[in-house]
Structures are given as C-alpha cells and as structure tokens.
Structure 1
Amino acid sequence: MTIILTDFIGQLLEYPVLLITTILTLSVIMVNGWTDAPNAVATCVGTRSLSPGKAIIMAAFCNFLGVLVMTLINSSVVQTIYNIADFRGDTKSSLVALCAAMVAIVLWASAAWVFGIPTSEGHALVAGISGAAIALQGGLSGINPDEWTKVVYGLFISTLMGFAFGFGATRAVETISRNFDRRKATPFFKKAQIGGAAAMAFMHGAQDGQKFMGIFMLGIFLVNGEAEASNFIIPIWLMVLCSAVMALGTSIGGYRIIKTVGMNMVKLEPHQGFSADIAAATSLLFSSIWGLPVSTTHTKTTAIMGVGVSRRVSSVNWSIAKDMALAWVLTFPGCGLVGYFMAHVFLRIF
C-alpha cells in the first residue's frame, strides 16, 4: 500500500488533525536537521578541514542524498519505527495522541539545543511516540516489545561499534602512515576528512530520515483506517519532502553542538577526525542494513571517544562525555514521560 501526493493533499484538507500532525512531524524533522545533523560534521570543523558554514552546507546536501538513496535500497528502519507503538483506536484519538508525541519531541530537542547538548532525536522520537501510545492504550500494550528490542540492541551495538571502530581505525591509520612526511600527510588527511564527514552526513540522513518517514506513514494509514498495515511502499514524494526539510534544518545552524562535539570533547588531529568519521559512518551503515534504528549522535560521539582513547585516556574530556551520557540516559524516560502527559492533555482538550 502507498499513497500518491494528490490524495495526500486532499486528506490534509479533509482531516485538519492530519494537517496538524504533518506540520508537527515536519517541525521535528527540521529540529533534527538543526540539532542532530551537525554532529556529522563536528570533527571536520574541529580539525579546521572545513569552515562551519561550508560544513553545514555539505551536511545538508549529504543528508538529502542519504534519505533518498538508503530508503530506495533498504527501508527496514521505516518498518521498525512504524510498528514500534500501537496507535490503533478511533482515528481522531489516534492522531491527537500522535500530535502530542510530536510536540513532546520538539520540546525535548529544543531544550537540548538550548543547553548545547547533543542528545538523540532518534531516541526522543522512539520515546515520545511510545509514551503517547501508552497513554492512548491505557497501559504497556501501547508498545511493541519486539520492535523495542531492536532499539535496545541498536543502542548497545552502535555504541560499542562506534568506540571500537574509532579506536581501531585510528591505530590502523597511524600504522599505515607512520613513515609519511607529516607536512604532506596533514593536508592529505584534511581532504580525506571532508569525504569522511560527507559519508557521516549521508548516513545520518539514511538513518534519521527513515525514522520520520515511518511516522508519516503511520499518520497516513491512521486516516485511512489501516493502522495495522504491514506492507507498504514509501512514495518518492515523501522521501523528497523529508530529506528537503532535514536539509533545511541543517542549513539553519548547529554551531553550538559542533563546538561541543568537535572542539571541546576531544582535541583531534586531521587523521583522527578522519578515523572518527569513517568509524561512525561504517557503524551506521551496518545498523541500517540490519534494520536497527540507532542514534547517529551516540555513534559519532563514541567513535570520537574511541579515537581519543587510542592516544591516551586523559585526552578525552570526560566531564563533557559524562554530561552527554546523562542526557542519553534521560532521553528515554524523560521524553517518554513528556509524550505520555502531553497525550493525556491533548486527548482531554481535543
């Protein structure tokens, strides 16, 4: 099952609650591009391979490509997000609860941006819609434990892969280039890091773009009375819409988070920044192929930590890493509770 653009526009006009849900979902996608995508190019800016302005433009373009290309190849992450929470019920209540979840995610992500903390919008998305579904269904039957298992697996696997690949990639690069002339090696790795950052931005779009398309498909099927649809085709127009909005959000800003991740947490040399980007992008690629909805923020920051530890443990600013870890731990219960209470409020008002 799928939907053509003209039919979707007609449904927006017919169902105001779907229009509100769509606006809120697009807002979440823009916030994601604004607050999450900058992590992809943080190391590239930190090593001065690119200026912040050029890095953000590159990230916006590569995010766009990532959403389009990966969804055409493998859309299993969309299916996971679509099935992770149960919004079955009457159409109005289901869409109102979905609206509440989107509001909760925007509030959570915006608060993280204010404090310059690179939290995960992907995990906030999972938590927010789960909290709203629990409120809608009146209990834990609102979530799908099988799909939640994939999220938990993805959390640990991406964190471990990011750290291990970051550590291993740095050691491998240093071993291969140990006899190189440093005056020639540094310019080479600065150029190589631009490619690594582009790959990281591409994979960010591939992962997070699919998560939000899952929410779009859920809203569309709720209106059409197909909340239990198991097989669907993602229309090209939806891929273009999500990728364009994410790219727009990325182009708006993100320097504060770039500074936290790429400059303050670990001081990196160009070859180390290249290693972190390649390690994180590789981890995200494996996760996408396996259908695991993982956090690009977690993956990138743990890769940077792995790079730092490969030099020496003290090279990592562990106080910043601790703040990040605390934000990650709080995201699931925090955003989940916000989604739960917002759903109750919205259901009573509307």
Structure 2
Amino acid sequence: MAGEPNGSQWKTLDKDLNKISQVEYAAQYISRPMVGLGVALAFIVLVAIGSAVFFGGTPTSLVVVMAAAFGAYMAINIGANDVANNMGPAVGANALTMGGAIVIAALFESLGALLAGGDVVSTISKGIIDPSGFADVRIFVWAMMAALLSAALWLNLATWVGAPVSTTHSIVGGVMGAGIAAAGISAVNWPTMGKIAASWVISPVLGGAIAALFLAFIKAKIIYQDDKIAAAKRWVPVLIGIMAAAFGAYLAIKGVKHIIKIDLVTAIIIGALIGGAAYAITAPLIAKQAEGLENRTKSVKTLFGLPLIFSAALLSFAHGANDVANAVGPLAAIVHAESVGDFAAKVPIPLWVMVIGAVGISFGLVLFGPKLIRMVGSQITKLNPMRAYCVALSAAITVIVASWLGLPVSSTHIAVGGVFGVGFYREFHMERRLRRTAANRPEVKRIPAEERRRRKLVRRSHFMTIVAAWVITVPAAAAMSAVIFLVLNAMVG
C-alpha cells in the first residue's frame, strides 16, 4: 500500500522510538533527586507563608517568617541525617524494609515531638551563651537566626558527604559562634563547652563498649551453646526485659518531664518494673516462637527481629521527644523575643512551632533519609538482628548512664559508636579465633597478615570520615554561624 513504511523503515522507526524512550528514562532518573528538593522547598515556602499569615499584622512579621523558614529547613536536615541512627541498624539487619523503617520513624518521631516534647526549651542550648551579654533584642534575634541557619547548612553538607553527625553539637556550635561574634568570647560558658567536648569521646566509646559487651554476652550464652534454642528461650526474654527497663527509665526521665519531674532513682525503679513486666510477657511468646526451630545460629537471629523493630520505634519516639528542640529551640526564642520584646534563657514552645519541627523531620526522613540509613545500617559493618539489637540496647543504656553522670551526650555518637563497637568486637573475636586455631592446629594454613588486613570487618574509610566530621562539627558550625551573623547584622544594621 502506497505511503506505508517498509521493513527497514519500521526498524528505523523502532530505533528512534527506543532512543526517545531512553531519553525519557534518563530524564526520570535525573529528575528523581530534584523531586525531593522540590518537595522540601515547597514545605519551607508553605511554612513561611503560614507564619506570614499568622503574624501578618505585626511589625516584626518578616523576621518571624525568615526564622520559621530556617526552622523548617533545619527540621528537614535533622530528618535526613539524625533519624538514620535509629533506623539504620534495623534496616541493615533486614528486620525492617527501607519503606517500613521510614513509616515507623516518621510516625514515632512525630508522636515523640508532639506528645512528649518538652514545652520549655533552653534556647541558649544548655547555657552555652549568657543572654545578658547581648546588647539588645535585635542582636539576640540575629544571633539565634545565624545559629539556626548555620546548623542546618552543616547538617545538609554532612548528609551530602554521607556522615552522620550530631544535631545537638551542630546547634551548639551555631549558638557559640554567633554568641562570640555578637558578644565576645567572654559570653561563652567554657566549662559547659568543655563537657560537650568531652562527650565527643565519651558518647561513642561508651556506646561502643556497651554494644560490644552485649554481643560478647549473646555469643557466650546463646551462640556457642550446644542447645542454642534452649539458651535463646532462657536469655532472649532477659535481654528484652533489659531493653524495656532502659527505655522505661529513659522515657520516665525525658518523656514526661514537662508533666512531672522524676529523679533518676525513681526513673530506674519505674524502668525495673516495666522491664519485669516485659520479661513476664515475652518469655512465653519467645518459647512459643522457638518451637520447631532448628538448632543453628540462623534460627536464633529470627527471635531478635520483632524486639528490634520495637526498639527502633522507641528510639525514634525518644529522639523526637528530645531532639526536635534542636530544630525549634532557636525559632521559639526568636518568636518569643519578637512577641515580648525581650529575651530569656527558657521560653515556652508554641504548638505551631513544634508542629513545624515534627513535620519537617518526617519530610526530611522520607525525602533524604535512605542515604544515611544505608550508611549506618550496612556500609560501616555488616549487621544482623543480634548485632543491631546490641546497638539499640547500648543506645538506651548509654543515655541513662550519661544522665546519671550529668554528661551532655549525642544520640548520633552513641548509636554510631555502637555500630563501630559491634564491628570492632567482631574483628577482635575473629583475630582471637585465628590465633587459637594456629596454636591448637598448626597444620591449618594461616591467612597472611596482608589478607587479614584486607578482610577488616569495619570499613576504615567510613570510620575516618565520620570521626573527622564529628571532630569538626562544633568549630565548623561556629565559624559559619559567626559569618552569617556578621552578614545579617551588616545588612540590617
């Protein structure tokens, strides 16, 4: 039929259509990261518009609108970076899918922020800067604005690099840098800064040591027993009880502090009662779940799956209850200063400010969280449900110990330190077994030292990147904050 394409023309047409399809696929692949950025930007703009409508009739509305936008940006970056520490081990151990982890984390982070988040926050970040050192309210507002923006920028950069850093230390550095630029070095409470610097070492070392001890305990009492299933039925409920006790005490101290003040001894008693109840409930459930399982390590790992999911959810709730203040603390300070015309060390957090923090963290987690979740969960060292459970357990216990010692610790440093602790313990344990094998069975060929170094169970490149990011977080955020404050002050001055 005239005008109808012949065989070769059909082939040409197919090739052309295929090229168009490939271009479409490429466009979709390239635009995927842009979708997250677009949604994040839309959220920040909506927050700014909402605050403009809410404060539209006041003469200071522009300042509050800017602060609200910066607060939303900060919350998104907390969700992208900080929340990975709670969910990474569970995802790395295959106890949760990435989608399931994101849903659970977003829900429990928001619940923790809105239900148990403190209604009073120390806006000067635990007394780092003396408010009386500021010349006037306007200087204080620009200092808080600079602290908020610099901390958010640093978290954004760390997430892009792939380093889980401390939100608390980021905002501490931001407040310190802006405070020095605004009121001089004497305005900084250096003993408090010394405690925070000490926590850089104490948090990860303590978290790692506790995680390694629990892993050693599990290996000795369960994995290396002749009847692994019987040992698991005996000890897994005990470990769950310890976890429940730690979380119970933690939430008693932190979660209800704005309703009732609970001292550490009372919190530990509450935790012990909750732990006993958890043991009583889970012992028969674990026994039932263990029925018919084969006597091997793989079977034991399945018994830790569900407790690990619960621990990840509780860690997210606790994180939302406490760390959301890092996003909204300076914003609350700015809103208070602009509304009252004065500044204070502690101010109430309005509900709308808390909602910005909670929703922003959830957005950041959904849009940008998977990168750091994979890093913490699988790229530092290989995790299974038992190892991940040790990390979660150490995180809860380390916070309790730190509260008892009065140390300002970072949940990020504790959780990632726990992952390092598990990995380094596995390296130590492997080396010890190789030495024993060489001593007892000299006929077995020994692995060369160079090959053993290559087989290290903790990736040194990630270890060095993360530690370096931890060390420079406070000075980097402080330097950025000082520069931002000077720019803002010069623009409006």
CA contact (8 A) 1:38 1:59 kept: no
Q: Does 1:169 align with 2:214?
A: yes
User: What one-letter code is carried by the residue in structure 1 that aligns with 2:470?
Assistant: W
Q: 1:126 aligns with which of 166, 172, 182?
A: 172
**Residue deviations 1:243-290 (CA, integer Å, cap 9, x gap):** 232223222231111222211111112110111112113323554677
Output the CA distance in 1 between the equivalents of 2:402 and 2:102. 24
How far off is 1:44 after superposition?
1.1
Which amino acid is the alignment partner of residue 207 of structure 1?
Answer: N
The one of 301, 307, 323 equivalent to 2:465 is: 323
Counterpart among 70, 78, 84 of residue 128 in structure 2: 84
Conserved 8 A contact 1:124-1:335? yes
- For residues 10-66 of structure 1, what are the alpha-carbon distances to aligned partners after superposition, in whole Å with 9 as ceiling and x for unaligned? 488431212211221221112111222122111111111111111111111121233
Q: Is the 8 A contact 1:154 1:287 kept in 2?
A: no
2:142 to 72, 96, 99: 96
Residue in structure 2 matched with residue 205 of structure 1 by the alignment: 320
* TM-superposed deviation, 1:321: 0.8
Q: Distance in 2 between matches of 1:60 and 1:284?
A: 22
Select the structure with the greater relative contact order (CA < 8 A; seq sep ≥ 6).
1
Counterpart residue number, 1:3 = none
> TM-score, length-normalised on structure 2?
0.63
If the length of structure 1 is used for normalisation, what is the TM-score? 0.87
* Contact 1:86/1:141 (<8 A) preserved: no
Question: Does the Cα contact within 8 Å between 2:144 and 2:333 map onto a contact in 1?
Answer: no
Tell me the CA shift for residue 147 of structure 1.
Answer: 3.4
Q: What is the percent sequence identity of the aligned residues?
A: 26
What is the CA-CA distance between 1:109 and the residue it aligns to?
1.5
- Checking the alignment, whether the CA contact within 8 Å between 1:12 and 1:18 is kept in structure 2 is no
- Structure with higher Rg: it is 2
Cα separation, partners in 2 of 1:33 and 1:288, compared to 1, 3 Å: farther
Of 253, 259, 268, the match for 2:374:
259
1:346 aligns with 2:493: no
Equivalent residue of 1:331, what SS? helix
CA deviation after TM superposition for structure 1 residue 205, in Å: 1.9
Given candidates 85, 94, 113, the residue that maps to 1:39 is: 85
Residues 292-311 of structure 1 correspond to what in structure 2 (within 5 A)?
292-311=407-426
Distance in 2 of aligned mates of 1:79 and 1:289: 23
CA contact (8 A) 1:58 1:198 kept: yes
Name the counterpart of 1:145. Answer: 190
Matched residue, 2:102? 56
Contact 1:80 1:147 in 2 (8 A): no
What secondary structure is seen at the aligned counterpart in 2 of 1:266? coil
Secondary structure, aligned partner of 1:315: coil
What is the CA-CA distance between 1:348 and the residue it aligns to? 0.7
Letter in 2 for 1:40: N
Which sits farther off after the overlay, 292-301 or 29-38?
Answer: 292-301
Contact 1:67–1:243 under 8 Å retained in 2 = yes
From 238, 244, 257, the equivalent of 2:359 is 244
Letter matched to residue 264 of structure 1: Q
- 1:338 is displaced (CA, Å) by 0.9
Q: Which position in structure 1 is the counterpart of 2:306? A: 191
Structure 1 unaligned spans of 5+ = 1-5
**C-alpha distance 126-12 of structure 1, shift in aligned 2 (>3 A):** farther
Amino acid at match of 2:197: V
**Does structure 2 conserve the Cα–Cα contact (< 8 Å) formed by 1:18 and 1:95?**
no
RMSD of aligned alpha carbons = 2.8
> Per-residue deviation at 1:237?
5.0
Cα deviation code 1:216-238 (max 9, x no counterpart)? 332233322432x3555445554
2:342 match = 226
Distance 1:339 1:159, change over 3 A: same
Paired with 1:58 and 1:78, the residues of 2 have a C-alpha distance of 28
Query: Which runs of 5 or more residues in structure 2 are unaligned?
Result: 1-50, 230-294, 429-455
Measure the CA separation in 2 of the matches of 1:213 and 1:316: 36
* Cα distance in structure 2, aligned partners of 1:286 and 1:242: 28
